[in-house]
Structure 1
Amino acid sequence: MLLIKSFRPGGKHGVSHRENRDPIGYAVAGLSRLAQSEVLDRFGLRKQVEQLVFTTTRNGFKTATAASRTFAKRGKQGAAGVRVPAERASGVFDLTPTEDEQMLVDVVSELAAELVRPVAADADDACETPADVLKASIEVGLPILGVPESLGGISEQRSAMAGTLVAEALAQGDMGIAVGTLSSGAVATAIGLWGTQQQQETYLPAFTGDEVPVAALALSEPAVLFDVLTPTTTAVRDGDGFVLNGVKSAVARGHQAELFVVGASLDGKPALFLLESGAEGMLVEADPSMGVRAASLSRLTLSDVRVPADALLGELDGTTYTECVRLSRLAWCALAVGTGQAVLDYVTKYVNEREAFGEPISHRQSVAFMVANIAIELQSMRLVTYKAASRAAQGKDFSREVALARKLCTDKGMQIGLDGVQLLGGHGFVKEHPVERWYRDLRAIGVMEGVVLV
């Protein structure tokens, strides 16, 4: 058991312990304290009072990006960054969350139920993640879940499993808000995984403070038959830096982002680049979508944008970019599992309470079998996603597992959304019930690339 002395969200915290902690012990130290505070109750009971500003369904926006902070260069250029070790494998095939992981899930699940779910419909209409949710996620420590503990984060070992559990729990509240909440942490995790010493010391301190910068992972492009592994956005060497040209789509909270991780083709290989919002030649436009609307999806246009040589994140041979794609797809699978669970919980209650011809409609075999099928497919999605996350956390090859998870979550996730709408009949078509929103969100799993990362 952990004995908590103190906790300061986003910073160092002191913990005494009687036994060795699991990899996310530092996170749980803070989360268990937060669970007893008034934060969740205060936010959960407050009604939304601010008119959300990202109303792209009516007005849209187009704006050149402007830097709102300066990231001062620190650290030795070219020196290797801090790398957290992989989890130790027990040799036993057991995907049951550890005690600490379960505590983490419980706290995030409470946040999703008390804070996210009540404002999800309004956030979807406004295409904006509510400020209260973002504030609570920072207090919980979600942006630094994948940042090494030695750099002010809470990760002692690879945290792919913890990140997967968090994404699933948040998505049970709303997938769009979950994406908007996790987007900044995706960039921090990427820098923690592949950044040089200079990149880590330049950017990560901002994520460990109280004013976490908005950041976005931009891999998708608005191209026909787009293949994420062969981006059409280009990076050309120019003197001691690079020049970027292209268009990226599905950029979460792009209109607010201060830092981007952009995928581009360099010398025929896909690569990642760090891009600050003040760079000349950047343009952000509203890009509202059918689903995941609360994530404030935007389009980023790059026209002869110059970046220095040290903006390159990770390796030049494409391995870093490929791993980024796989970890992103893993995160989307976790979001699909969480949203699918929300559908199952909602329709189970609905069919047991909704009566037709004097009895609950769940007494009809066609209805009961459809609900049972949702539960079966959902469990298969969860198991293969957890297995991929477990292998990623242990530093093993997880390419096969994440490919299976993506295929299963794409096909069965959309089917779960469709069946959820079908089970509600006419109620499934109207916004009075959240299932139509979950159906729209689940259709994103097969087409979204990047944005989130575990």
Structure 2
Amino acid sequence: MFPNAQGRALALLNRVAQSHWPDRLKLRKTLEKLLYGGARAGFNLAARRSRQQSHSVRAGELFDLSLSDEQRMLVEMLEAFAQETLRPAAHEADARGAVPAGLLNQAHALGLVHYGVGEELGGMAGEGAILTNALMAEALSKGDLSLAAALLVPLSAANCIRRWASPEQQAAWLPAFLDGRSVPRMAIAVNEPTVLFDPHKLSTRAQRKRDHYLLNGEKCLVLDGLDASRIIVAANTDNGTALFLIDAGSKGLELRPEPAMGLRSCGTARVRLKGVQVPLERRLAAVDFDYQAFLDLGHLAWCALALGTAQAALDYVIGYCNERMAFGELISHRQGVAFMVADIAVELDAMRLMVWRACARADRVEAFQRESYLARLLCAEKAMKIGTDAVQLLGGHGFTQEHPAERWYRDLRAIAVMSGGLHL
């Protein structure tokens, strides 16, 4: 009946419990403690073997929510950085419309961009890179969404090159990201200033000439566009959409500030292209370039930022509601408040599961377009609702800059309108 070790231990423990001789010899507690420890050790061993066997199952058969030790340590480090460094600097950065130079240097010292360079070139983008990047975005945005987005632009550019450039282009462009002294400032431009913008219907065109392309069009809400030395631009060609790496100082390329409702720390910019000549070798030339996957990974990056900021909002309103007194009692004791906080927690868990599942499928090189679409649909709607509810729960305080809720509200509204700019 009990063919295994823990089964035999349980059977023996049961017989000892029913016997009288341990009482006569005053050994019951000693024996039960010994047998209980053996049974527990057996169960622990079985659990470890079960986990090992489960990990040996083909990856495609499982959706594993457990994180690796490296991922957990990375998240803990970045969450500490977000709380201790990003959160205190967020208000001033939002007011100035720029990331402090010292903060950029601190972020570069963390080596975030190394997770966008392949291991063969000396980077750390290995197995599970997409989920790892999403976890990094989520952890950083717990400090501030806009600052997190700005700090992740170099990593996004490296990811874009690693995934969609040819091996020769990767070897030429990616090593610069590993130079600890100066990380390249590259931006990604997809959004266009059109009503109901559809990234599948780009107005920006790239016309092939003999030894170059001519690019014409306009891009908006380009993160870190004003300070970027190069810009990765999505444009239509005669054979589909392609990505081009353009020097910011190219003739015919114009940059100007484009302040927005949120994402102020990112220094969003408007980019105009008027007959910009781009050499043929500056077209990202991966053999299997998939524009839809490029968009999906960008959307998941924004979803990951929404997760961290929504979590920060939830943690903040819980503390506020448990301290704020009104009419002689804590406002958290009122059902209208408690139910709203509970709804935020439920929606946040749903968002996280959707995003993590999409990332896990992408890491396993499985189809993830459906999962990415559903994750973005959910995050775009619920992130705005969470931002609104956070302001509402703080009452009049939510409307002031004394509390970060109004800034989170403005930033979270960007999730529904941004395409590109970031890339997992």
Does the pair score TM above 0.5? yes
Larger Rg: 2
CA offsets 1:292-321 (integer angstroms, 9 cap, x no match): 11111111111100011111114588x532
> Which of these residues, 283, 290, 313, is aligned with residue 284 of structure 2?
313
Q: Secondary structure at the match of 1:246?
A: strand
Which residue of 2 is the match for residue 4 of structure 1? Answer: none
Q: Secondary structure at the match of 1:145?
A: helix
CA offsets 1:203-245 (integer angstroms, 9 cap, x no match): 1121110210111011111111210122110000111210001
Which residue of 2 is the match for residue 267 of structure 1? Answer: 238
Moved over 4 A (4+): none
Which residue of 2 is the match for residue 115 of structure 1? Answer: 85
Whole-Å separation in 2 of the counterparts to 1:316 and 1:267: 17
Residues 134-143 or 287-296, more deviating: 134-143
Structure 1 residue 132: Cα displacement: 2.2
Query: Would the alpha carbon gap of residues 287 and 302 (structure 1) be closer, same or farther in structure 2, given more than 3 Å must change?
Result: same
Query: Would the alpha carbon gap of residues 178 and 94 (structure 1) be closer, same or farther in structure 2, given more than 3 Å must change?
Result: same
Please tell me the root mean square deviation across aligned C-alpha atoms, in Å.
Answer: 1.4
Which residue of 1 is the match for residue 275 of structure 2? Answer: 304
Whole-Å separation in 1 of the counterparts to 2:285 and 2:318: 46
Q: Which residue identity is paired with 1:176?
A: S
Residues 101-110 or 261-270, more deviating: 261-270
Residues 166 and 286 in structure 2, CA contact (< 8 A), matched pair in contact too: no
Which residue of 2 is the match for residue 446 of structure 1? Answer: 416
Residues 216 and 251 in structure 1, CA contact (< 8 A), matched pair in contact too: yes
> Is 1:351 the equivalent of 2:325?
no
CA offsets 1:111-165 (integer angstroms, 9 cap, x no match): 1011100010111111111222211221111112121011121122350000000
Paired residues for 1:104-253 under 5 Å: 104-210=74-180, 211-253=182-224
Q: Which residue identity is paired with 2:343?
A: N
Q: Which residue identity is paired with 1:385?
A: V
Query: Would the alpha carbon gap of residues 303 and 316 (structure 1) be closer, same or farther in structure 2, given more than 3 Å must change?
Result: farther
Residues 383 and 412 in structure 2, CA contact (< 8 A), matched pair in contact too: yes
Q: Which residue identity is paired with 1:257?
A: A
Q: Which residue identity is paired with 1:382?
A: R
Residues 82 and 139 in structure 2, CA contact (< 8 A), matched pair in contact too: yes
Whole-Å separation in 1 of the counterparts to 2:137 and 2:413: 17
Paired residues for 1:46-61 under 5 Å: none
Which residue of 1 is the match for residue 332 of structure 2? Answer: 362
Structure 1 residue 99: Cα displacement: 1.7
Structure 1 residue 96: Cα displacement: 2.3
Unaligned runs of 5+ in 1: 1-87
> Which of these residues, 335, 341, 355, is aligned with residue 311 of structure 2?
341
Q: Secondary structure at the match of 1:313?
A: coil
Residues 314 and 390 in structure 2, CA contact (< 8 A), matched pair in contact too: yes
Higher helix share: 2
Which residue of 1 is the match for residue 33 of structure 2? Answer: none
Residues 163 and 286 in structure 2, CA contact (< 8 A), matched pair in contact too: no
Query: Would the alpha carbon gap of residues 431 and 189 (structure 1) be closer, same or farther in structure 2, given more than 3 Å must change?
Result: same
Whole-Å separation in 1 of the counterparts to 2:200 and 2:284: 16
Structure 1 residue 169: Cα displacement: 0.5
TM normalised by structure 2 equals 0.84
Whole-Å separation in 2 of the counterparts to 1:422 and 1:316: 50
Whole-Å separation in 2 of the counterparts to 1:269 and 1:334: 28
Residues 417 and 439 in structure 1, CA contact (< 8 A), matched pair in contact too: yes
Paired residues for 1:16-95 under 5 Å: 89=59, 91-95=61-65
Structure 1 residue 90: Cα displacement: 6.6
Q: Secondary structure at the match of 2:125?
A: coil
Whole-Å separation in 2 of the counterparts to 1:328 and 1:292: 16
Unaligned runs of 5+ in 2: 1-57
Structure 1 residue 383: Cα displacement: 0.5
Residues 146 and 158 in structure 1, CA contact (< 8 A), matched pair in contact too: no
Whole-Å separation in 1 of the counterparts to 2:79 and 2:287: 39
Residues 216 and 259 in structure 1, CA contact (< 8 A), matched pair in contact too: yes
CA offsets 1:166-200 (integer angstroms, 9 cap, x no match): 00011111111011100111111111112113211
* Equivalent residue pairs, number: 366
> Which of these residues, 284, 295, 299, is aligned with residue 325 of structure 1?
295
Q: Secondary structure at the match of 2:416?
A: coil
Residues 271 and 320 in structure 1, CA contact (< 8 A), matched pair in contact too: no
Q: Secondary structure at the match of 1:235?
A: strand
Paired residues for 1:273-292 under 5 Å: 273-292=244-263
Whole-Å separation in 1 of the counterparts to 2:163 and 2:59: 20
Q: Secondary structure at the match of 2:349?
A: helix
Q: Which residue identity is paired with 1:302?
A: L
Which residue of 2 is the match for residue 400 of structure 1? Answer: 370
Whole-Å separation in 2 of the counterparts to 1:241 and 1:341: 47
Structure 1 residue 443: Cα displacement: 0.5
Whole-Å separation in 1 of the counterparts to 2:287 and 2:359: 25
Structure 1 residue 366: Cα displacement: 0.4
Q: Which residue identity is paired with 1:361?
A: I
CA offsets 1:396-437 (integer angstroms, 9 cap, x no match): 110010000000001111000000000000001011100010
